[in-house]
Structures are given as C-alpha cells and as structure tokens.
Amino acid sequence: MAAPAEGAPHTEEAVGAPPAVEEIKKAAAEQLIDPYNVSGGVDDEGNVKAIDYEALRKRFDTPALTEEHLARFERVTGKPPHRLMRRKLFFSHRDFDKILDYYEKHKFFLLYTGRGPSSGSMHLGHAVPFLFTKELQEIFDVPLVVMLTDDEKFLYTRNKNQGKATKGAALGDFIKYAHDNCKDIIALGFDPKKTFIYTDYEYMGGHFYQNISEFEALLTNNQIRGALGFDGSTNIGLNAYAAKQCVAAFASSYPILFGQPDFRAPDYAASRPQKRIAAIPTLIPCAIDQEPYFRMLRENCDRMENPSPKTALILSKFLTALQGPGGKMSASDPNSAIFMNDPPSTIKNKINRYGFSGGGATKEDHEKYGGNPDVDVAYAYLSYFLDSDEELAEIETSYRKGTLSTGELKKKCIEELQKFVTAFQERRAKVTEDIMREFMTPRELQFAGKENLLAMVTPDNVGNKGGNAGNERGGREKSKGERKAEKIAQKKAEKLAMREKGGDTTPDAEKAGESVQD
C-alpha cells in the first residue's frame, strides 16, 4: 500500500524541526550545540563556521572513540565495526567499554534510540543513527526500543510559536508524523522479534510513568535551564519532557518486553518496577546534540528507587547540510537536506545545485592545487554511505591531487545516494499499517542472551505485589545522612549544568521575550 511519497510534502510539515542554516547564520558567533540548537557559529565576516567536534567533545567532556575500542568491538563480536564507526563518524562515547564488559559476560543489554517526529518523511541525517543502531542490533542480537517523541515536538513547536496553534502543528499532526517516521524506521531493516517502537502519546503509563514521576522529582528547573537553554518563559511541558527522554533508557520502563508484568489497565499485576529489570544496562546510539539530556540521566540513574547502571552512549557527528559543514541537515529547509522520499532526479539536482564544493575555483585551479575533501559535501556524504574503505581512500587521494574533478565527485555521490534511497523506498512501500502495528505492540521480545536474563529475574522479585515487598530499597526510610548526601548531589548537578551553559546566570527577566530554541 503506502507509496514512499505518502504523507503531505515535507516542505509544509517540518514544523518542529531545529533551525535551518539560514537561521543559524543569524545565530551567535559561538558554536552552540544542544538538543535544540546545532550551529558551528559565525566568523567576523558572517560566514558559518564548521562545527569543531574536538572542542565540543572537550566541552561535553566525553571521551573519544579510539582504535582500541574498534579492535575490542571486533574481538568481542567477531565482526568488523560498521563504516560509521571505522570512520569515526561515531566519534565519542560514555562507558562503551563497560557495555562490552557486560555483554561479554551476559550476552545482552538494551539498545535505546529515538526520533523527534518533526516531518512526515525523514531525511538522510535522521537515518544515520538508525542505520548504525540496526547494525548494532544485528551484531549483538539484543533488544531495541525506539522512542518517537510526538509530545516533545508538539511542545517544542508550541513553545517556538509562543503558544499559538499553527498549521500542521496540531497535537494529532505529530502523532501522524510519528507513524510515518515509524514506517521509515522499519524500512531501514529492524528485526520485529527484537524491536519495540512507540510514540509517547500511545505508550506512556504503567512503570514507565512511575519512572517519569520519580525522575521529575530528581530534576530542578535550574538543571533543565542550564542543560537545555530554557528560561522562565519556556512552557512547563517542555521543561518536564527531559525526564521522559531520560527514563526511556531504563529497561524497567518496559517490563512486558522482558516477559514481566506491568501496571496497566486492565491488568495491574505489578505495582512497582522490578529491581532486576532496572539493573539491565542500556546503550544509546545518538547524535551528540542529545548528550545534555543523557548527562542528566547518567547523574541520576543510581538515585532511582530501583537503580539502573549509568547508561552508556555512543555519539555521532551530524550529517552536514548541503550548504556546508556549519550546520546539519534540517527538515525545515528542504534545500539543506535529502529526504528519504526524494526521487532520484531531486537528489541529483540538490547535490548539483546546493552541494557545497571543496573544489578549486576554476578547472585550472583545481588541477593545479587540488580540492579539499574536508569541507566538500559530496565527499562527506560518500564517507557516510560508501562502504568500501579502499574506494573512499582512492577518491580522497585523487580529489586532493586534483585528478578527480568536482563534477566527477558529485556524480559518484549522486549515484551512491540514489542507490541507497531507491532501495529504501522499495522497502518503505511494503511497510503496511499492520506491519507498523506489529512493531508498536508491547510484547515479549526474543534475543540471544534472554536465557541469562531470565535466570537473573527470580520469582521473588517479580510483581512486587502489595507495594514494595521484595524491593530492597523501596519502603525503607532514608537516613539523615543519605538525605544530606542527596541534597549535596543535587546542588552539584545544578552547578554542573550551569557551567555547561558557560556559567550563564542571567536573570530570567533579562531574557524575557527571547525565543528559546532558535
């Protein structure tokens, strides 16, 4: 049924997307990266600067992904790492080693990633973390949850528009985008036996919602403002949303996937989340703009009544906008991005017309001085989508030398992208409503290390019937010392978050009227 171009044209639909390159140009001189802003900043002449990933990594204080990680990945899994990892497009991490340690022993963990449904069709940049996640799921044979944040995008868009309802941005529109995106994600090849995809509006409740409440109680407005750039005029829904994205990382938010009872109508089998399920570690593959959320997550994992291990992250760069390396592809600017439902002719036109080139100014110059693949968009896209390392190296060398022309490089890029997008569209056309619903149904998942997990989930901690029985931490009064330690941790977390914003302590009144995310 569903043809790839199903859904309204993305030009109108990109209501909840981050700012487009044109908007970034008006932005601050400084590089600014958080879940609601991705900009390399502008120089004195007003030119957009390339994103400085090393500076970002230092600022976020996230370790680099090293050759040792790649080698260990191969030793543990017996498979070579995906090209996105080999080429350090996934370039940073938190506790990736610990996930590998755990996997070596127990043969499972939980994968979690997500997508803010801001438009009907996803673009190539949106597809990148999912391509990578799919490969991880296949190699590790582990369960995966995909969160579609229809609520986040609704709240964000309303906030951007000062509370006003706008066309294509009614609450129900975001549910529809989420469903369209769900089909796109399925078409990237996920295994229905191991994958649960949900929209927040449809799935939240039960233990998930209990985790949300607990987490909301651990975060303060100051922390949220520091980490996400919000202020007193930000709507309260968007402030509270962070807790949802964070606890979505806890396996205990999804007991049914592990064959355990939840607390939902009409079956209230288990009143509280289970300790053993909460103890399953999680790895999140995502772009580095989401790191500010997950920093708050990691700081609070062990403060939950049923604590979870600190969530591991593997973090990617952004797929460059067609206009060049200062911003990422944005659904709100159709000319900045190649959409997964673009026909081959559109892909060709976009690359030829808008693709920022690192080639020489003239043919003579190019042959004499060579081109610069480091800023060239066609080369950048090939590094994401061309699988052969040898071929890519050959392209790089000949482009630098000037023996490969800009036209030839673009042609190669167009061919590769057309191949990828066309194959995607063929699979997407086969994703029916029923298939979508199969992925979106909460059900027990199948994965390799499941036996090991079930051995850990013993009957006496299943259900927690009658309040917190069988739950070591629950029900017990916290000592004075513990309460004091929590207070100190809270203050420390707030300070950290504020520092992250560059020590921004501007009073709310001074910021009043300033739009929050773009």
Q: Would you say 140 or 174 has its CB closer to ligand TRP?
A: 174
49 φψ region: left (φ > 0), alpha (ψ -120 to 50), beta (else): beta
Least distance from ligand TRP to the Cβ atom of residue 94, Å: 13
Q: Would you say 84 or 409 has its CB closer to ligand TRP?
A: 84
Least distance from ligand TRP to the Cβ atom of residue 490, Å: 24
**Rounded to the nearest 10 degrees, what angle do helices 406-428 and 389-401 cross at?**
150
Class of residue 478 by CB neighbours under 10 A (exposed 0-12, middle 13-18, buried 19+): exposed
> Is the CB of residue 194 less than 8 Å from the CB of residue 449?
no
Least distance from ligand TRP to the Cβ atom of residue 460, Å: 33
Least distance from ligand TRP to the Cβ atom of residue 319, Å: 13
Residue whose entry in the numeric block shows the structure tokens 């109680």: 217
Q: Would you say 152 or 342 has its CB closer to ligand TRP?
A: 152
Q: What angle do CA 200, 340, 185 make, to 5 degrees?
A: 35
Least distance from ligand TRP to the Cβ atom of residue 374, Å: 27
Cα(104)–Cα(56) distance, rounded to whole angstroms? 31
Least distance from ligand TRP to the Cβ atom of residue 169, Å: 15
Q: Would you say 116 or 327 has its CB closer to ligand TRP?
A: 116
Least distance from ligand TRP to the Cβ atom of residue 443, Å: 21
**Is the Cα dihedral 232, 234, 236, 238 positive or negative?**
negative
Q: Would you say 19 or 114 has its CB closer to ligand TRP?
A: 114
253's CB contacts (< 8 A; 6+ apart) are: 207, 208, 211, 247, 273
Q: Would you say 114 or 261 has its CB closer to ligand TRP?
A: 114
Least distance from ligand TRP to the Cβ atom of residue 116, Å: 3
Least distance from ligand TRP to the Cβ atom of residue 293, Å: 7
Q: Would you say 286 or 386 has its CB closer to ligand TRP?
A: 286
Q: Would you say 85 or 404 has its CB closer to ligand TRP?
A: 85
Task: At 112, list the tokens.
Answer: 């979690």
Q: Would you say 149 or 320 has its CB closer to ligand TRP?
A: 149
- Closest-CA residue to 28 (of 38, 16, 14, 42): 42
Least distance from ligand TRP to the Cβ atom of residue 313, Å: 9
> Is the CB of residue 357 less than 8 Å from the CB of residue 376?
yes
Residue whose entry in the numeric block shows the structure tokens 């859904």: 7
- Closest-CA residue to 381 (of 172, 124, 185): 124
Task: At 156, list the tokens.
Answer: 């964000």
Q: Would you say 283 or 378 has its CB closer to ligand TRP?
A: 283
> Is the CB of residue 38 less than 8 Å from the CB of residue 50?
no
Least distance from ligand TRP to the Cβ atom of residue 152, Å: 6
Cα(230)–Cα(514) distance, rounded to whole angstroms? 10
Phi, psi of 244 (to 5 degrees): -70, -50
Q: Would you say 288 or 378 has its CB closer to ligand TRP?
A: 288
Task: At 463, list the tokens.
Answer: 């259900």
Q: Would you say 227 or 413 has its CB closer to ligand TRP?
A: 227
Task: At 403, list the tokens.
Answer: 């023996």
> Using CB under 6 A as the criterion, which residues of the chain lie in contact with ligand TRP when the complex forms?
35, 113-116, 147, 149, 152, 245, 248, 284, 286, 290
Least distance from ligand TRP to the Cβ atom of residue 241, Å: 9
Task: At 476, list the tokens.
Answer: 């017990």
Collapsed DSSP state (helix, strand, coil) of residue 375? coil
384's CB contacts (< 8 A; 6+ apart) are: 83, 84, 89, 124, 128, 319
Task: At 166, list the tokens.
Answer: 């706008």
Query: Within 171-219, where are the H helices?
Result: 171-187, 200-203, 206-216
Cα(404)–Cα(367) distance, rounded to whole angstroms? 8
> Please, which residues bridge with residue 48 across strands?
42
